Structure 1
Amino acid sequence: MAAAALAPRLAQQAAASDQVGGFPEEEFRWLRTASLLTAPLSGDLGGADLMLPNRTLELLQTLRHVGRGNLAVGRVYEGHANALMLMQRHGRAEQIKKWAADARKGHLFGVWNTQAQDGVRLEALPNGRFRLHGSKTFGSGAGHLTRPLITGALPDGSWQMFILPTDEQPTTVDPSFWQPLGMQATASFRVDLTNAEVGPEDLLGQPGDYYQQPGFSGGAIRFAAVQLGGAEAVFDETRRFLRDTGRTDDPYQRMRLGELAVLIESGNLWLRGAADHASRPDADANADATVAYANLMRTAIEDICLRTLQLAERCVGARGLLRPEPFERLHRDLTHYLRQPAPDAAVADAGRFVLEQTTPAYSLWQHD
């Protein structure tokens, strides 16, 4: 797998790009060379078909390996993959062809949905185009993404997706917004889109399509895969540190490594379970179950990552948390990236789903 081969190189470069205002430009050139920027496209568009339901496991494993190499790269790459999948699901034939060609040329896509009080609005113009007003926050890859998929309110209040060619339209990036604990290199700035324009050819799908289930909430399995890659990096570096410092004979270190191995393998089993569940034939028709399982998976992965960090800290001690050891950066990045929206609501919604079912536990998720 290309991503697995690239992960060590990404890890070696991670410290160099770990700075506020930085961005892993060279790393994304490597991803393009490895054909990973086009991998989520269908085969007839020059991709590797990773958007197909029966290739979900391969997609999640790709995301995990990129995250294992560098969580910041993984975060931006997951957004790129998400945008390409949304584009293929909701776009018209001529749009898909155009945007796929952009991806093959190396354009970076992403998804900018989060906003504050001055959110994005589309003002209808007499010529059929729309003028944009307002801003997005947490615009990962701002200043580097040239094809972000953005959401905004139409004049009637409905929610519309569009893909903005930022290399052709004016935007104002505010780096001062992004002063994070971790994930510094994602360049998740505030982006003011005021006075940029889009036409009908830039609008993606119908109003409200962005929040269609199970695609919206079910997509959590992708960022959870990247998070698991970060936990694997912590595991690998912890084991290396103990070997380098001659502490592998300590019975308590062995106990902790055993616990870490249980956590990491549990995460990989959740990854496989999520891929199987998302690729079942009735995944779209039975969206409630699909979303519930995705919420279980993201909850489990978050817990695995948090416990991995705690055990790793005990293994390496204060000495291991000093630079140039990678633990300080990995801890910051993974801790920050785990703060995804509405974690309590996600697990509560899974609880609601299982309470509404009468199916016995052994077949609740159709494992048989």
Structure 2
Amino acid sequence: MLFDAASPDLSISTPSLAPGPAPLSPPAEAVRAARALAPRLFAQAAATDAEATFPGQEFAWLRAAGLLTAPLAPALGGAGLGAPAATEALLDVLRHVGRGNLAVGRLYEGHVNALLLIQLYGHAAQLQGWAADAAAGRLFGVWNTEDPAQGVRLEPLPGGRYRLFGAKTFASGAGYVHRPLVTGALAEGHGWQMFVLPADAQAPALDRSFWRPLGMRATASYRADLTGLEIGPADLLGPPNAYYRQPWFGGGASRFAAVQMGGAEAVFDETRRFLQRLGRTDDPYQRQRLGQMALLRESGRQWLRGAAARAALPADAAAGPQPAAAAYAGLVRTAIEQIGLAMLPLAERCVGARGLLQPEPFERLHRDLTHYLRQPAPDAVLADVGRFVLDGHDF
């Protein structure tokens, strides 16, 4: 059953601004809302840590906080987080959501990704319609991973329509996302076409047995079979092969890295809380480990600031490939993966076996972060960075 967009209004409360200071900009307001929401997401995370669940309540909170529309331009009712100048704010929002719950962060990052691509390639009528969907609480996502046996293809029908065949795997939010952005192969080798599937009207067949993960259980990343569904010209987004254009394809890695960094920060936060609660703050070895974890945390935050400065993606689809931006995003992705992998064993040593027992959150955090850090082709990404610098380029 699709997530009910008419969920109760559970708006988070924020203090009113005192007279005098200038009001926060919309991107800064979005960051403040995400920061305030993170503890609430964290407190709820254990309740949805199961393969047969979806964080619907959490997305009601995101909607009430204005975060479902925040990636949209102000003219479309959003906070403008998709603008290049707002990249740091966007990454901070994603980091805070990931700090609250990595599964929610993964799903929210897919929602953001879809809305950014829609604004990059959509025409006016599409922008208005899909922005209205986001405002109504409908969720977006990106389904790109092909089923190895039968990937998605589009077969032409009269009137510019297409019948779909094939399936996607790792289709995050399947059964709950109303507007997944999907890639499919056009006939006769004409390339890959993006389209936004109205999944509440054209529901794919889901294989839930596909999703038996180590972590990120609540992302509902099922196998989605689109065979027999039909789409029309208004559902097509951009020209063929637009999805893979650089720097947007590789440069988007900074966004999921920001969510991962939020998960690493949650590990730090909970390790500190655990040691403080048990009165183990005077142990010199615990202090040394926390110092190392603080170094890792600050390093990750600096990498995200670097991404905002060096890997901000242009909002104009006619912009050139900008290889430096894509290469720097590859560095950010790699650095934050290493930070997460270094943070986990330090936390394990700090909390010991006692800390890995429920209801402590470390076992879940370990599973979720370990699983989410496994993004595709990490070695190829770093090799591309090496090729970039060996060719005499720099950032």
Unaligned runs of 5+ in 2: 1-31
Does 1:208 pair with 2:241? Answer: yes
Q: Which residue of 1 aligns with 2:371?
A: 336
Match of 2:267 among 229, 234, 247: 234
Instruction: Provide the aligned length of Structure 1 versus Structure 2.
Output: 360
CA drift at 1:288:
1.1
5 Å-filtered alignment, 1:214-253, equals: 214-253=247-286
CA drift at 1:101:
0.6
**Residue 191 of structure 1 aligns to which amino acid in structure 2?**
A
Does 1:161 pair with 2:208? Answer: no
CA drift at 1:278:
2.1
TM-score (norm 1): 0.96
For the 8 Å contact 2:82–2:315, the answer to whether it is kept is no
Instruction: Between 122-131 and 273-282, report the one with greater CA deviation.
Output: 273-282
CA drift at 1:310:
1.0
Separation in 2, partners of 1:142, 1:281: 30
For the 8 Å contact 2:84–2:315, the answer to whether it is kept is no
Is the partner of 2:213 in helix, strand or coil?
coil
Closer, same or farther: CA 209–280 of 1 in aligned 2, 3 Å: closer
Closer, same or farther: CA 203–20 of 1 in aligned 2, 3 Å: same
Runs of 4+ in 1 over 6 A off after TM superposition: 280-283
Separation in 2, partners of 1:353, 1:188: 34
For the 8 Å contact 2:251–2:313, the answer to whether it is kept is no
Separation in 2, partners of 1:273, 1:29: 32
Separation in 2, partners of 1:260, 1:171: 43
Q: Which residue of 2 aligns with 1:321?
A: 356
Separation in 1, partners of 2:153, 2:320: 32
For the 8 Å contact 1:53–1:278, the answer to whether it is kept is no
Is the partner of 1:156 in helix, strand or coil?
helix
Q: Which residue of 1 aligns with 2:48?
A: 17
Closer, same or farther: CA 218–280 of 1 in aligned 2, 3 Å: closer
Instruction: Between 97-106 and 277-286, report the one with greater CA deviation.
Output: 277-286
**Residue 91 of structure 2 aligns to which amino acid in structure 1?**
L
TM-superposition CA deviations, 1:281-324 (whole Å, max 9, x none): 89953621111100011000000000000100110011101111
**Residue 338 of structure 2 aligns to which amino acid in structure 1?**
D
Closer, same or farther: CA 109–241 of 1 in aligned 2, 3 Å: same
Q: Which residue of 1 aligns with 2:383?
A: 348
CA drift at 1:188:
0.2
Give identity over the alignment, percent. 67
Q: Which residue of 1 aligns with 2:66?
A: 35
Report the aligned-residue RMSD.
1.3
Is the partner of 2:169 in helix, strand or coil?
strand
5 Å-filtered alignment, 1:22-171, equals: 22-116=53-147, 117-157=149-189, 158-171=191-204
Separation in 1, partners of 2:381, 2:313: 21
TM-superposition CA deviations, 1:190-240 (whole Å, max 9, x none): 001111100000000000000010000010000000000000000000000
Instruction: Between 115-124 and 199-208, report the one with greater CA deviation.
Output: 115-124
For the 8 Å contact 1:218–1:291, the answer to whether it is kept is yes
CA drift at 1:246:
1.2
Is the partner of 1:49 in helix, strand or coil?
coil
For the 8 Å contact 1:67–1:73, the answer to whether it is kept is yes
Q: Which residue of 1 aligns with 2:347?
A: 312
Is the partner of 2:187 in helix, strand or coil?
coil
**Residue 296 of structure 2 aligns to which amino acid in structure 1?**
L
Separation in 1, partners of 2:315, 2:360: 47
Is the partner of 2:181 in helix, strand or coil?
strand
Instruction: Between 113-122 and 103-112, report the one with greater CA deviation.
Output: 113-122
5 Å-filtered alignment, 1:174-213, equals: 174-213=207-246
**Residue 87 of structure 2 aligns to which amino acid in structure 1?**
T
Closer, same or farther: CA 238–59 of 1 in aligned 2, 3 Å: same
Separation in 2, partners of 1:280, 1:140: 24
Separation in 1, partners of 2:180, 2:106: 14
For the 8 Å contact 2:313–2:325, the answer to whether it is kept is no
TM-superposition CA deviations, 1:26-47 (whole Å, max 9, x none): 0000000000000000001000
For the 8 Å contact 1:148–1:165, the answer to whether it is kept is yes
Q: Which residue of 1 aligns with 2:16?
A: none
Unaligned runs of 5+ in 1: 359-363
CA drift at 1:261:
0.3
TM-superposition CA deviations, 1:68-124 (whole Å, max 9, x none): 000000000000000000000001111111111111111000000001221101111
Separation in 1, partners of 2:207, 2:35: 34
Instruction: Between 298-307 and 149-158, report the one with greater CA deviation.
Output: 149-158
Does 1:2 pair with 2:33? Answer: yes
Separation in 1, partners of 2:110, 2:56: 15
